[in-house]
């Protein structure tokens, strides 16, 4: 069984209060570009310990300075999932430097996508021990899914420089990790493309 990190339940609760919720599943998480899977799990982050594991791959170092997280994706990027139920809006109270997109996917609750200018890649990788690393346009990307009640949350953290990453997360009631990760694959490329090269 998975053990959620401290930050993730806070994020889920905050987003639930904002009209959506996130969930995270300990089930298999497929590679969006292959057929491999990996179980996912979180652990409590330690701010005092140095990151473990190899340095992330960063094909083109990028800067998040001046980037608006609500501009990381647009309606055209999200069209395959659904139209906006409302305009994207900042969610800095839930996750610093983040934006929430609520989409009409035909379900009662819709689907929510969150983008954020995020912490160091290694911090996420160390906290989510059971995630799966993939490459998106030459950048290390940490994929992770977990179930919270009836809702599935999948997150992808993409390394953009030595100190920062970007986050793309999706929640869906009754969602399946493999389908959600596949739906997120083009969003990851679109979001990364909007982060300027340093």
- Separation of alpha carbons 21 and 4, rounded Å: 15
Tokens of 165: 């990453």
Contact between 28 and 177 under an 8 Å Cβ cutoff? The reply is: yes
Element (H, E) at 184: helix 177-193
Mind listing the pLDDT tens digit for each residue in 110-129?
Answer: 899 999 999 999 999 999 98
Per the prediction, the chain carries an average pLDDT of 80
% of the chain with per-residue pLDDT over 70: 74
Return all residues near 157 (Cβ < 8 A) that are at least 6 apart. Answer: 118, 121, 124, 125, 141, 142, 144, 165, 166, 167
Beta strands in the chain (DSSP E): 29-30, 37-38, 83-84, 89-90, 98-104, 111-118, 132-136, 139-148, 151-159, 165-173
Q: Give the residue-averaged pLDDT of 167-194.
A: 96
The pLDDT of residue 149 is above 60: yes
Q: Which residues pair with 155 in a beta bridge?
A: 144, 169
Of the candidate CATH numbers 1.20.1300, 2.60.40, 1.20.1070, 3.40.1000, the domain formed by 7-42+57-193 belongs to 3.40.1000
Q: Give the residue-averaged pLDDT of 141-158.
A: 95
Give the C-alpha distances (Å, rounded to integers) separating 181 from 30, 58, 66, 96, 134.
Answer: 7, 21, 28, 23, 12
Mind listing the pLDDT tens digit for each residue in 80-116?
Answer: 999 999 999 999 999 999 999 999 999 888 899 999 9
Mind listing the pLDDT tens digit for each residue in 16-68?
Answer: 333 333 333 233 333 333 322 333 333 333 344 566 789 999 999 999 999 99
The pLDDT of residue 2 is above 50: no
Residue 130 pLDDT: 83
Contact between 134 and 32 under an 8 Å Cβ cutoff? The reply is: yes
Better-scored residue on pLDDT, 138 or 47: 138
Residue 23 pLDDT: 31
Residue 109 pLDDT: 83
């Amino acid at each position: 069984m998975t053990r959620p990190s401290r930050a993730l339940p806070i994020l889920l609760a905050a987003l639930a209060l904002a009209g959506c919720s996130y969930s995270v599943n300990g089930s298999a998480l497929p590679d969006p570009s292959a057929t491999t899977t990996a179980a996912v799990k979180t652990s409590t982050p330690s701010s005092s310990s140095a990151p473990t594991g190899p340095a992330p791959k960063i094909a083109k170092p990028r800067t998040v300075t001046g980037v608006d997280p609500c501009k990381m994706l647009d309606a055209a990027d999200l069209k395959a999932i659904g139209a906006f139920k409302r305009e994207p809006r900042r969610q800095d109270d839930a996750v610093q430097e983040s934006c929430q997109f609520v989409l009409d996917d035909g379900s009662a609750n819709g689907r929510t996508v969150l983008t954020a200018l995020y912490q160091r890649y290694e911090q996420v990788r160390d906290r989510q021990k059971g995630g799966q690393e993939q490459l998106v346009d030459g950048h290390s990307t940490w994929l992770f899914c977990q179930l919270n009640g009836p809702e599935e949350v999948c997150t992808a953290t993409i390394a953009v420089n030595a100190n920062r990453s970007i986050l793309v997360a999706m929640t869906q009631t009754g969602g399946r990790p493999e389908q959600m990760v596949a739906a997120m694959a083009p969003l990851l490329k679109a979001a990364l493309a909007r982060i300027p090269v340093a």
